[in-house]
Structure 1
Amino acid sequence: MRLLASATLLCSLLLVGCETVQTTQGGAVGVQRQQFMFSALSSAEVDRMAAESYAKMLEEARAKKVLNTDAAMLKRLRRIADDLIPQVVHFRPDAVNWAWEVNLIKNDQLNASCMPGGKILFYTGIVEKLKLTDDEIAQIMGHEIAHALREHGREAISRAYTTQLGTSVAGALLGLGEGGKQMADMAVQYGLNLPNSRANETEADLIGLELAARAGYNPQAAVSLWQKMGSASQGQPPAFLSTHPSSSGRIQNLQATIPRVQPLYEAARR
């Protein structure tokens, strides 16, 4: 009974200061998950922090003379972004008016991102090493844009706050020693943080798939993209211990969803 009462109190404490929100409309892919956000942390504040971080990254890249050095690739990325950004209205109308930016850093990493508020950054490595087509770039960019639309960054900060509160309170309530607290930390890490992160990745896959289809980019490119990523990511940890779904798992999910967005792609190509 004491354990049950303590767990109930812990859950109540974790929910204090949080609110349930739906950051986007579901779209044809049907992303409907309700999100818990720390109410004291506004979207505007997260966007401000992201813009500052993005500006610092660009400043450092500029100082190293690796910012936007490949004019042809930068033009290509910005053209694809110009196709994708108008489609965000189908998920989040206000996002059309974000201060969108697209920049390119010369770096061999297989990486790209879209920070809160629409700050897109690609590394040359992901385009060059994977020999990406425009359709595949659109899938990556759509995926990263989806993270911003769904405010996954704000959600992660909110989750970190509740996690920190939860593990410290759990130790006191349940009378855990140091070893027990470490076990609680691991339980939170693998039972809360990672599954939620994988859920975010799946949402970004699906929304990105639809954004690209609406912009006229072939949804089948999502399959070829993750086949390439899977080949380039040998030796990575299994999906259960990763914040990203396994390549085979996400390919299956994407293949199951492509029929929903195929008509959108065909309409955009007419």
Structure 2
Amino acid sequence: MPTVYLHSPVTRSSFRSCIFALVWAFVALGVEPAMAREGVDVGGNSAFSKLVPAEEIEQSAAQQYAQMLAKADQQRALAGKEHPQLQRLRAIARRIIPYANEWNPRAKNWQWEVNLIGSKQINAFCMPGGKIAFYTGILDTLKLTDDEVAMVMGHEIAHALREHARERMGKTAATGLGANLLSQVLGLGQVGQTVTQYGAQLLTLKFSREDESEADLVGLELAARAGYDPRAGISLWRKMSAANKNAPPQWLSTHPAGETRIADMEAAMPQVVPLYNKAQKPSTK
């Protein structure tokens, strides 16, 4: 009978690999299945996001958002509630937000906010918990139509609904592979440290290209259901590309290449244009 070694040497790298395999198995058990539905199909939210408490991320986001608004107000860069562009943004948001709940049940309880900041930056974002901000640069420089604004807003809201920030922090917690990793996964006792450690990055968080592509598709659907033409996503991309031919604007810094993005949007049109057409029916009566 061959000898069985119960205490064979384990290298640090092999230990890390084993731990990560356990974490991956734990996460895989919680993967949310995709459901057959009308519209785009991007699968369920990543189970990695479950490794970090949503409440802590949303609380951190709310605090950072408030700090950002306070700073903008001090610099006289925060648009007042009577500003026509802010009113325009909030009107578009009111049409899109009702369709967010299907993508994330937590959205029902979010305290949605939309604000406009005076800056030449071609940028916009939606933080976890529904905290939306646009910079005047993206509206003025690109001269966006309402449909194009809805594409930007839908895209940014999609990041929050799909919990891409939470997913990224969950992956960080899972791949930290420190001595307390198993307690993080099994007891969640240490995972909150991830929010504290990385929460400061919420305002400038960079998503993966996969996240950006997913947000494009979900954003198209959200805007289409709200009655905005999803084909504006293609014209928006062309405006974005033309804004800076040598280097992409900040809003596009981690997005897929132009041709790939346009091709993905065109491929999704059969799923989203019918939703837009349905949304138009009440207004034709």
TM-score (norm 1): 0.79
Partner of 1:131: 143
2:263 counterpart letter in structure 1 = Q
The answer to whether residue 214 in structure 2 is matched with residue 203 in structure 1 is: yes
Matching of residue 86 in structure 1 with residue 98 in structure 2: yes
Which range moves more in the overlay, 17-26 or 143-152? 17-26
Q: Determine if contact 1:222/1:254 at 8 Å carries over to the other structure.
A: yes
- Secondary structure at the aligned position of 1:102 is classed as strand
> Of residues 18, 32, 37 in structure 2, which corresponds to 1:9?
18
Cα deviation for residue 97 of structure 1 reads 3.0
The alignment status of 1:233 with 2:277, answered yes or no, reads no
Matched, 1:248 2:259: yes
Query: Whole-Å Cα distance in 2 between the matches of residues 200 and 23 of structure 1?
Result: 18
Change (3 A) 1:36 1:204: same
Q: Give CA-to-partner distance per residue, 1:66-99, whole Å, 9 cap, x none.
A: 0015700000000000000011133234413310
Instruction: Give the structure 2 partner of residue 146 of structure 1.
Output: 158
Q: Secondary structure of the residue that 1:127 maps to in structure 2?
A: helix
SS for the counterpart of 1:90 is: coil
CA–CA separation in structure 2 for the residues paired with 1:24 and 1:46: 25
Instruction: Tell me, in whole angstroms, the C-alpha distance in 1 between the residues paired with 2:32 and 2:243.
Output: 35
C-alpha distance in 1 between matches for 2:117 and 2:68: 9
Q: Is contact 2:49-2:168 (8 Å) kept? A: no
Conserved 8 A contact 1:136-1:221: yes
Q: CA RMSD in A?
A: 3.0
Q: Could you tell me whether the CA contact under 8 Å between 1:135 and 1:218 is conserved in 2?
A: yes
| Other structure's SS at 2:101 match | helix
Equivalent AA in structure 1 for residue 87 of structure 2:
K
SS in 2 for 1:66: coil
Over 3 Å counting, the alpha-carbon distance change for 1:39 and 1:95 in structure 2 is closer
The corresponding residue for 2:274 is 263
Per the alignment, do residues 161 and 119 of structure 1 end up closer, same or farther by CA in structure 2, a change over 3 Å counting? same
* Pair 1:77-2:86 in alignment: no
Q: For residues 3-43 of structure 1, what are the alpha-carbon distances to aligned partners after superposition, in whole Å with 9 as ceiling and x for unaligned?
A: 99567425336548857444996761011055142645211
Aligned residue for 2:52, secondary structure, equals coil
What whole-Å deviation, never above 9, does each CA across 1:123-171 have from its counterpart, x for those lacking one? 00001000100000000000000000011111111223344448xx9xx
Q: Which amino acid aligns with 1:54?
A: Y
Deviations 1:241-265 (A, max 9, x none): x632012211110011011111110
State which of 217, 231, 235 in structure 2 corresponds to 1:220: 231
Alignment match, 2:79: 68
Q: Secondary structure at the match of 1:37?
A: helix
The amino acid that maps onto 2:90 is: R
Cα pair distance change 1:214/1:68, threshold 3 Å:
same
Computing the radius of gyration over CA atoms, which structure comes out larger, 1 or 2? 2
Tell me if structure 1 keeps the 8 A contact 2:122–2:137: yes
- Segments of 5+ residues of structure 1 without an aligned counterpart are 170-193
Equivalent position to 1:112, from 124, 127, 148: 124
| 8 A Cα contact 1:17 1:39, kept in partner | no
Aligned residues: 240
Letter in 1 for 2:170: S
Provide the rounded CA distance (Å) in 2 between the counterparts of 1:89 and 1:197: 24
Check conservation: 2:51, 2:173, Cα contact below 8 A: no
Name whichever structure is richer in helix by fraction: 1
- 1:192-246 CA-partner distances (Å, limit 9, x unpaired): xx9x711111110000000000000001100000011111232238xxxx63201
Aligned position for 2:199: none
C-alpha distance in 2 between matches for 1:213 and 1:96: 20
Q: If the length of structure 2 is used for normalisation, what is the TM-score?
A: 0.75
1:173-188 aligned at under 5 Å gives the runs none
Question: Where does the alignment leave 5 or more consecutive residues of structure 2 unmatched?
Answer: 1-9, 182-205
| Residue from 155, 169, 173 that aligns with 1:161 | 173
Q: Any conservation in 2 of the 1:27–1:91 contact (CA below 8 Å)?
A: no
CA contact (8 A) 2:103 2:162 kept: no
